[in-house]
Amino acid sequence: MFHRLSTDHFNWILIIGVILFIIEVAFFHGGMIYSALISGILIYVGWKNFFTLWGKILFWIGVVSGLLSIFNMLAVRFLIVVAIVLFVLNYLKSKQEDETIIPNLPNHQEVIVDSIIKVEPLFDHTLFGEQQTEETAYQWRDINIHALYGDRTIDLSNTVLPNDTSVISIRQGIGNITIYVPYELDVSIHHSSVFGRAHILGKHHWKLMNQSLFYQTEGYDHAVQRVKIITSVFSGDIEVKRI
């Protein structure tokens, strides 16, 4: 969407956004800005004391009030409207530029159609609820899911992995991820989190705030049988441990 936007247009959007921000500070006494700053303080204090009940309450009050304050700013509203307009214009332009390509095959030439089969995934996409692999032996399939809320538990000791790179990709809003990995298996873990903790093969990160982590076992690059784990959560913990 933004690659079609010229530098001049982008600069004008930026200038108008700054002007609206200055108008809000000068003529509206910066009400929403001060509210956002107070919300930031609540988030910081709540996060520092997140292990207590009152810390969790302060943190989530700060998150909700901060989002409301930000979306009520004139500059932010303007940028949202601009993004919607650009999306619509980009969609209309792409529809006009669509081109149908019809292959020109010689007469009597056979078209080879691939024979494919449908494979049922291990996990379905669910917005809410917990998911875990079977406690008995199961057939392995790569995992690629997204969810809004809930915990995910994957036990790799109950399956036989192929001699290739197996992939686990999980993207979710709120919830914990637990992955059990056999000792002989080489793994690569790329985890990103806005808020949460991470315990990855003996490495502990007790407070993550908008961070990304990347770990891999020593023999991963040359292993025949290996697992690539890619996870992303807004708020939640991840634990990858040997079993």
Q: How confident is the model at residue 6 (pLDDT cuts 50, 70, 90)?
A: low
Which residue is associated with the tokens 């200038």?
Answer: 15
Q: Are residues 81 and 148 in the same domain?
A: no
- pLDDT at residue number 4: 54
**72 belongs to a structural domain:** yes
Query: For residue 144, what are the β-bridge partners?
Result: 169
Bridge partners for 91 per DSSP? none
Confidence band, pLDDT 50/70/90 cuts, at residue 7: low
Distance, CA of 223 to CA of 212 (rounded, Å): 24
Cα-only R_g, the chain: 24
Phi and psi at 190, nearest 5°, equal -120, 110
Task: Indicate the pLDDT class of residue 103, thresholds 50, 70 and 90.
Answer: low
39 with 136, same domain: the answer is no
Q: Considering 49, 74, 97, which residue would you say is the last residue of a domain?
A: 97
pLDDT above 80: residue 227: yes
Residue where a domain terminates, one of 71, 97, 123: 97
68-82 pLDDT tens trace: 877 777 777 777 787
Counted domains in the chain: 2
pLDDT of 108 > 60? The answer is no
Q: How far is CA 61 from the centre of its chain?
A: 23
Higher-confidence residue of 148 and 198: namely 198
What average pLDDT does this structure show over 209-235?
A: 92
Handedness of CA 73, 79, 81, 83 (dihedral sign): negative
| Three-state secondary-structure class, residue 100 | coil
The answer to whether residues 145 and 206 belong to one domain is yes
Flag whether 120 is in a domain: no
Residue 85: its pLDDT value, please?
79
Q: How much is the average pLDDT of 193-217?
A: 90
* Confidence band of 58 (pLDDT split at 50, 70, 90): confident
Question: How high is the pLDDT of residue 110?
Answer: 61
User: Tokens for 35?
Assistant: 């509210």
Q: Is residue 107 part of a domain?
A: no
Q: Is there a single domain that holds both residue 92 and residue 156?
A: no
Tell me what percent of the chain is helix, strand and coil, each rounded to the nearest 5.
Answer: 35, 30, 30
Range of the domain at 206: 131-242
The DSSP annotation for 84-101 comes to HHHHHHHHHHHHHH----
Is there a single domain that holds both residue 135 and residue 238?
yes
Whether residue 152 is found in the same domain as residue 89: no
Band of pLDDT at residue 122, cut at 50, 70 and 90: confident
20 in the same domain as 72? yes
Say whether pLDDT at 53 is over 80.
Answer: yes
Q: Is the pLDDT of residue 208 over 90?
A: no
Q: What does pTM read for this prediction?
A: 0.56
Distance of alpha carbon 187 from alpha carbon 227, whole angstroms: 5
The answer to the question of residue 204 being in a domain is yes
SS (H, E, C) 171-233: EEEECCEEEEECCCCEEEEEEEEEEEEEEECCEEEEEEEEEEEEEECCCHHHCCCEEEEEEEE
**42 within a domain of the structure (yes/no):** yes
Higher pLDDT, 90 or 153: 153
Q: Residues for the chain: how many in total?
A: 243
Please check whether residues 34 and 80 belong to one and the same domain: yes
In a domain, 87, yes or no: yes
The percentage of residues in the chain with a pLDDT greater than 70, rounded to a whole number, is 78
Report d(CA 54, CA 48) in Å as an integer.
11
Of 205 and 150, the structure prediction assigns the larger pLDDT to 205
